[in-house]
């Protein structure tokens, strides 16, 4: 059993990500994820952390929620999510990040309407 597989042990983030620090694509913390349900086996390089992540994402939730449930830092989980998207096991369910860094007026209006509905509910 290696240090990275020891349950509950202090595992340094760069061990889990095998030294990678930059996710290969931009994945904001609120990115919605879900397992694709593919029957393909996980790549042989997949770790216990990948398997746990895939299990937690069996239904729809945000990347940051997956991280919280796994009790791992968001930066680490972002790298693992990238791996599982590449291998076809996870899919991004939310619309792609916009070209600009700000939500557009349509989304703002939807958020506003939604909050007002909650208020009057």
Residues forming contacts to another protein in the complex (CB under 8 A) are 7-8, 12-13, 28-32, 34, 52, 56, 59-62, 64-69, 71, 73-75, 93-95, 97-98, 101-105, 107-119
Shortest reach from residue 33's CB to another protein, in Å: 10
Shortest reach from residue 74's CB to another protein, in Å: 6
Smaller CB distance to another protein: residue 42 or 62? 62
Given a contact cutoff of 8 angstroms between Cβ atoms, the answer to whether 76 and 29 are in contact is no
For 47-62, give the DSSP string. -HHHHHHHHHTSS-EE
Question: What are the structure tokens assigned to 46, written together?
Answer: 């997949």
For 69-118, give the DSSP string. HHT--HHHHHHHHHHHHHTTSEEE-SPPPPSSSS--HHHHHHHHHHHHHH
Smaller CB distance to another protein: residue 4 or 13? 13
Shortest reach from residue 14's CB to another protein, in Å: 9
């Amino acid at each position: 059993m290696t240090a990275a597989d020891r349950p509950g042990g202090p595992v340094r983030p760069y061990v889990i990500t095998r030294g990678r620090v930059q996710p290969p694509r931009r994945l904001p913390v609120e990115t919605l994820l879900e397992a694709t349900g593919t029957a393909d086996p996980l790549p042989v390089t997949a770790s216990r952390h990948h398997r746990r992540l895939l299990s937690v994402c069996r239904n729809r939730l945000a990347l940051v929620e997956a991280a919280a449930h796994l009790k791992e830092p968001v930066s680490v989980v972002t790298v693992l999510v990238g791996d599982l998207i590449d291998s076809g096991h996870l899919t991004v369910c939310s619309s792609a990040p916009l070209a600009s860094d700000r939500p557009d007026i349509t989304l703002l209006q939807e958020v506003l309407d939604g909050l007002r509905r909650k208020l009057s509910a």
